[in-house]
Copies of this chain bind each other. A is one copy, B any other.
Amino acid sequence: MDKSDSLTILLVDDDLDVLGAIARFLRTHDIGVVVAESAHTALQRLQEQHIDAIVTDLRMPKSNGLQFAVSARETRPLIPIVFFSGYAQVPDVVAAMKLGAVEFLEKPIDPDELLKVINRVRISHHGTLTTQRLAFDGLDQGYPLKMRVLAYEKYLIESSLLQHGGHISSVLESLQVNRRTLNDKMSKLGIKRDALIADTVAGNSKPAD
């Protein structure tokens, strides 16, 4: 299946067996995979082509995963990063999560679990959402408070819409907001319900998480 909305992830691990196995698995599930066996290579790939998310081993021979993540964030400030590791210590995990990791998996990796995580990324960073996240989160300086708050509000509403499959009444209940207010906000913030729900029909529209 060729899907225009499929994700491309950057998979980083020094163990080529693991790299190959996971890459194969993900590709059979319509996820584009770019592999790299070192942090150095990974950073190159990150600059060469479009990557939607990073899945990386925490422990690698030369540069460790955290260091790599920091470098990666310099290029792509808010790219979602998923770590995995076989012998993670608590401080490592804490550091990774503080960096804003979306998930931290243990080796050996359960492919289905990884797939679930990636699908979650697919949803929360979908299309217009990604732009919004950048708007309110990445550019720490230079944007007025009001604009950033509005961008966040837009992001929250779009997320809720996606999570409820475009079902407005559910969103109203979830966000506990007046129906008229929500409509006005969506109009003002340029949120198109139709566009959002059309986006998700191809993949999983329900994050059963």
Contacts and interface: CB of A to CB of B under 8 A. Distances in A.
A68 to B, nearest CB: 16
Nearest to A172: B145
Contact of A163 (B141, B146, B163, B175): B141
A20 interface: no
A176 B94 contact: no
A188 to B, nearest CB: 14
Q: How large is the interface on A (under 10, 10 to 19, 20 to 34, 35 or more residues)?
A: 35 or more
Contacts of A98: 97, 128, 130-131
Given A97-B93, A130-B100, A149 B156 contact: yes
Interface string A156-179: 110110010000000000111100
A60 interface: no
A178 to B, nearest CB: 10
Contact of A152 (B99, B152, B176): B152
Number of identical protomers: 2
A5 interface: no
A105 to B, nearest CB: 8
A142 interface: yes
A56 to B, nearest CB: 15
A16 interface: no
Nearest to A73: B130
Interface in A127-151: 128, 130-131, 133-134, 136-137, 141-146, 148-149
Contact of A97 (B97, B145, B177): B97
A190 to B, nearest CB: 17
A160 B88 CA distance: 32
**Chain A to chain B: the 3 pairs with minimum beta-carbon distance, closest first:** A97-B97, A100-B130, A144-B176
Interface of A: 88, 90-91, 93-94, 97-100, 103-104, 106, 128, 130-131, 133-134, 136-137, 141-146, 148-149, 152-153, 155-157, 159-160, 163, 174-177
